[in-house]
Amino acid sequence: MDNLAMNLVPLVELSRGDTLECLHFGAVAVVNRHGKLLAQAGDPHWLTFSRSTLKALQALPFMEAQGPAAFGFDLAQVAMMCASHNGEEKHVAQTQGMLDKAGLTCEALRCGCHVPSIFGVLETTPARGAVFDARYNNCSGKHAGFLAYCVQHGLSLDDYIAPEHPLLAAAPELTVDAKAETAVIELNLNQTKLPAGEYTLHVEAQAKVKYAKKAGAKDTAVADVTASFYSMPITVRVLEAPKPAK
């Protein structure tokens, strides 16, 4: 607890009337276009998991290899590669479409299965007897994109989530200089079974700067990825309420 108190500071207060009800602590790192730290709240070198904020970066190797054109992925399917979706039927259909175009079935996915997030969002429960597979995982679009990359490059499929697989060398968690002063990297397994790197906030901010620079330079791959999730809110918003449990 003492370590947390040293690294995190109050960022958000929620009040009910004049009474403080919730106080959220955190840390923030702000960098300029050169990656230099300009401002901070709490510890800018706080070590944490980047989670789904890096999906756009992870999609770049596939985009740079002209993957969408090779498989006929449309804009919505490119957006699905960057999505943490709700597991609604339209999301599942998009993931299945990506697998179909890559000549694969959902059994190839190694992201695991969980109850679709839409039920938590709407505070309801699945219908009795409902069955879900890996396509309903909120990261299934990213994994379908990874599999398509493997098909495109003739890489093995069964072990694509293994730390030593060539996929992870092509789609690193962060596109930063490994020699950077704060680039402390340790591999852990995240909820979708991929090795997940731990990085400091400063290093994560530097990665986002690199992405922004590519966008500013009109890098085609970055422009296409960015356009996809801005024009296809299917990846982030609730579309349809599932049938209530009986």
Give me the count of residues in the chain. Answer: 246
Query: Mean pLDDT lowest for which of 74-78, 115-119, 157-161, 202-206?
Result: 202-206
For the segment 113-138, the average pLDDT, to the nearest whole number, is: 91
Distance CA 90, CA 128 (A): 21
Rounded Cα distance between 200 and 44, Å, is: 7
Residue 46 has pLDDT above 80, yes or no: yes
Q: Give CA–CA dist 13/209, Å, rounded.
A: 29
The answer to whether 229 and 75 have CB atoms below 8 angstroms apart is: no
Give, in order, the Cα–Cα distances in Å from 130 to each of 76, 114, 136: 26, 12, 12
Is residue 242 within 8 A of residue 124, CB to CB? The reply is: yes
Dihedral sign computed on CA atoms, order 189, 192, 195, 198: negative
Q: pLDDT higher for 119 or 193?
A: 119
Q: Where are the alpha helices (DSSP H) in 24-174?
A: 55-64, 67-71, 75-80, 89-101, 117-121, 140-152, 166-170
The mean of the pLDDT values for the chain is 81
Q: What gap in Å lies between CA 222 and CA 212, rounded to an integer? A: 9
Residue 150: phi and psi, rounded to 5, are: -65, -40
Choose between 104 and 64: higher pLDDT: 104
Q: Say which residues have a Cβ less than 8 Å from residue 43's Cβ, sequence separation at least 6.
A: 6, 7, 8, 27, 201
Dump pLDDT digits (tens) for 223-234: 787 778 777 776
Domain-by-domain residue ranges, the chain? 1-44, 47-235
pLDDT in tens, 155-207: 999 999 887 888 877 765 444 433 333 333 333 334 444 555 667 888 888 87
**Which secondary structure element, helix H or strand E, spans residue 207, and what is its range?**
helix 201-216
pLDDT of the residue at 10: 94
Q: Check pLDDT > 70 for residue 7.
A: yes
pLDDT-derived band at 211 (thresholds 50, 70, 90) equals confident
Average pLDDT of 99-121? 93
Q: Using CA atoms, how far apart are residues 18 and 159, in angstroms rounded to an integer? A: 55
CA–CA separation, 41 vs 240, rounded Å? 38
Torsion of CA 94, 100, 103, 105, to 10 degrees: 80
